[in-house]
Structures are given as C-alpha cells and as structure tokens.
Amino acid sequence: LMNICKLDVSCSKHQDIYQVHEGSQLLLSACLSCDGCLSEEESLKISQQSLEEVERVLALNKKCDVSKHKVLVASICPQSLPFFAVKFGLDITEAAHKLCGFLKTLGVQFVFDTTLAAGFSILESQREFIQRYRRRHHDSHALPMFTSSCPGWIRYSERVLGSLVTPHICTARSPQQVMGCLVKKYFSKQQKLSPEKVYHVLVAPCFDKKLEAVREEFYNSLLETRDVDCVLTSGEIYCLMEQRKVSVEELDSVPLDHVLGEAGDVALVRHEGRGSEGFLEHVFKHAAKELFGLDVHEITYKHLRNRDFQEVTLERDGETLLQFAAVYGFRNIQTLVHRMRKGRVPYQLVEVLSCPGGCLSGRGQAESEAGGKVDKVLIQQMEEAYSSLPIRLPEVNPALHTLYQEWLQGQDSQQASTLLHTQYRNQSHTQPPHMQW
C-alpha cells in the first residue's frame, strides 16, 4: 500500500481506512490528501507554509528597505485555543491572551479570533441550504448538501469522488477563507494598506488547512498575495515556544484585536456543536424555523454506527420533515459514499469532517508527544476547555450585521456572493473504478 501511494498509515485518517481494509486490496483511488499525491507545484507552495517563511518575513521587517516591510496579522481558530489552554494550564481566555502576547513579541501587529468569520460561513450555509431545499424537485444535485469547512474532505471529494459529490458541496467559504477575505479585503482597506502589504498567518488545528490556503481561487495573481499567506498548526506554534524556551508566566497577557477596530477586550464565544462550529446544528434549527415554522431548542443525536456517525431528525405528526447526519472520519465517510453510490442517502444535509472526533482532534495539535497516535487525554481536556466558552448565535452578533451592511452591501448582494462563496470542482481525471470500501 505505502509503495503505491505513500499513504501514511501512521495518520489517524489513513489508519481509519487501513484498518477497515487490512487484508483486502486497496485501490490507488482511495489515496487521500497525504503528501504522496501532491504535485510538485503544490509541494512547493506547501513548503512556504512554514515557520521559516514567517521568520523570513519578520527578518525583512527589520531591514532598512521599507518597500519589503509587511504588517503581520495572525488569526487564531477557536479549535486551537483549547490546545493552548491545556498546554498552558490556563482557562481559555487567559490562554488566548498569553498566546496573543507571544505572537506580538514575535512582531505580529494584530491578532484576531476567527469565530467572526465562522459566523459568516454558518449564515451563508444556512441560506444556501434553504435555496437548495426549495429547488430540490427540479435540481437533482441540490440535496443532500455536504458541508464545506473541512479541506481534507474537500480534497478527497474533488480528487477522488468527483462529480458524484462536488455539486452537492455547499459553496460557502470555510471560516479560514472567510477570515482571509476579511483580513485582505476589509481590514487592510481600513488600515489603508494594499493587501500584499499584509502578511496573514492563520493558526489552525490541522495541516490540511495549508492545502486550502494555497488553492488558486484564493490567490490574487495581480498583487501576488494570498488571502491566507501561511497556515501554522497549534503544534508548530507550541514547538516554536519550546524552542525559544518561552515561559508562559513571564509572557504579557494581551487582549485580542477587533477586526472592526473597536477598543476593548474581545469576548471569546463559541458556536454550537462538538468543536467544529456546529454547521449541522445551526442549519437544522434555521431550516426548522424557516421551512416549517418550528422552534428547535435542543438537538438530540441518534448514534448510528458509532459516535462519529450520528443522525438528527425533525418530525411532526409522525412525518419526518428533516433528516441530517454528522459523519466524521474517513471510515464513516466511506460508508456514506457507498450509500450515495447506491442512491440510498436519506439526508438533506451531511456535516462531513475528515478527522474522527472533529476538529479538536486535528493532527496539528492532538497527536501524542511520542507521535503517530492521537492523545485521547489531551482531546478530552480540550473538549472540556472548549465547552467552557459561552455559545453565541451568529444571527445575534452585531459585528456580522455591521459587516454585511458596510462591507458587503447587504446579505443578498453580489459582493456577499463573490466574497463569501467559492466553487468546488471535479478534479478526478478518471472515474474511480469499482471502489472497494
């Protein structure tokens, strides 16, 4: 297997497949987003997503030639914060302030939380779901809708599954790429800077986000700049702190910055769900209200095959109105795809994530220090830290309303559709032969 596609069986995502198929033939088409299938061009771009590259940019800022100076901005995913909270032995807000203090000692000028961007992704996913639901009778690709926030899943869909799945993927940009757009197309304007004068680093729980950042559609060839210039994993940042022998106690606690430039502390909040922004929960509640006039307060999951394959249904008078599923990890994704091929997917929406357990288990932070395996104790501690944050619905976030009006000219505008959406395409050159799941 490894000789064929260099599939890294030490990775949890790949192990997932490997264990299922041990003893049976695995096809090349089952290869996921491991380095083995990266083109030379992609490998080069990914190699620039590194600490060395950030250090190069920081070093240029110290040189006399001001034409090469850049303003450094870092955006932190809410899934990375619990990692630092556990590692620092602090609560999540204090850990965020210490991390911000560390990034600012490096020379980063602004530090943001990406929850605001995730709010845009959720609202746009909700709107797209309603549109797809309403055209389901005359568009066979409208439903099921698959969520689009996980680059591991997206890459697998585009490269391996192709047109079976790509028209079903929600076009809303992921939180990472909405954040990229906010920093390069809104914040830089507020700062009276051209986008290429801003170097945007994103701190994320997984390596797959690097692959997303280098996608063509997020590159401005005229200005030679990306919406997200560099993705660093939580683990990479923590390693840097260890290398520099940083003492957390001695770090300044610095509040995060507001994208809108307001003064005062940023109150950290989270979205619903188990740590991956809760697209399923938000769309489910929104659709229940918008399509059937029903208020859903509590969501009850039904475990199907395991904790990572769950279902939620909305019923009225014995009739099933909505049926959604959360499918995490490639083993469960394979089951889903198998059913899709047979035309037996009863769901209108599926939240798909490639890591078993979701984003807190991303391999850029959840791997044990010995390497290779996920650290279950760490994941549990991260889940506790994450759930300590209060929940806030994106619908009631005033910053989102302001940005829709001032930056995007309204929710239904062309600007919102261009900047908050993208496209996913079939990149599988041949239809995979019979898949042996």
> Which residue number, 154 or 403, has a Cβ lying nearer to ligand SF4?
154
Site string for ligand SF4, 125-164 (x = CB under 6 A): -------------------------xxx------------
Output phi, psi for 75, to 5 deg.
-120, 130
Distance, in Å, from the CA atom of 48 to the CA atom of 275, rounded to the nearest integer, reads 28
Closer Cβ to ligand SF4, 228 or 359, answer by number = 359
Distance CA 84, CA 140 (A): 44
Q: How far is the CB of 187 from ligand SF4 (least distance, A)?
A: 23
By CB under 6 A, tell whether 354 contacts ligand SF4.
Answer: yes
d(CA 339, CA 89): 44
Among 123, 353, 389, 420, binds ligand SF4 (CB under 6 A): 353
Residue of this chain nearest to ligand SF4 (CB atom): 362
**CA dihedral over 121, 122, 123, 128, signed as positive or negative:** positive
Record the tokens describing residue 393, joined without a space. 């619905």
Residues 262-301 binding ligand SF4 (CB under 6 A) are 276
As a whole number of angstroms, the distance between CA 352 and CA 147 comes to: 6
Which residue from 359, 379, 419, 420 is in contact with ligand SF4, where contact means CB under 6 A? 359
Neighbours of 139 (CB within 10 A): 12
State which residue, 72 or 77, has the beta carbon closest to ligand SF4.
Answer: 77
Percentages helix, strand, coil for the chain (3-state, rounded to 5) are 45, 15, 40
Q: Which is nearer to ligand SF4, 174 or 225 (CB)?
A: 174
Side chain identity, residue 297: H
* Residue in the structure block whose two tokens are 């033939």: 25
Residue 362 in contact with ligand SF4, rule: CB under 6 A: yes
The DSSP secondary-structure symbol of 172 reads: B
**Minimum distance of ligand SF4 from residue 379's CB (angstroms):** 12
Select 150 or 169, whichever has its Cβ closest to ligand SF4.
150
CA distance readout (Å), 371 to 1, 11, 364, 366: 21, 10, 11, 10
Binding segment for ligand SF4 (CB under 6 A), chosen from 19-27, 88-96, 122-130, 358-366, is 358-366
For residue 91 the two structure tokens come to 């609560």
Taking CB under 6 A as the rule, does residue 206 contact ligand SF4? yes
Least separation in angstroms between residue 157's CB and ligand SF4 is 12
Q: How many residues bind ligand SF4 (CB under 6 A)?
A: 13
DSSP 371: S
> What distance in Å separates the CA atoms of residue 188 and residue 242, rounded to the nearest whole number?
32
Q: How many CA atoms lie within 13 A of 407 on its CB side?
A: 25
Which residue, 126 or 354, has its beta carbon nearer to ligand SF4? 354
Cis status, amide bond into 205, omega within 30 of 0: no
Q: Rounded to the nearest whole angstrom, what is the least distance from the CB of residue 151 to ligand SF4 in the complex?
A: 6
205 binds ligand SF4 (CB under 6 A): yes
Using the minimum distance from each CB to ligand SF4, give the nearer residue, 31 or 206. Answer: 206
Q: State the minimum distance, in angstroms, from the CB of residue 352 to ligand SF4.
A: 9
Taking the complex as a whole, the smallest distance from the CB of residue 62 to ligand SF4 amounts, in Å, to 33
Q: Which residues bind ligand SF4 (CB under 6 A)?
A: 150-152, 205-206, 208, 276, 353-355, 358-359, 362
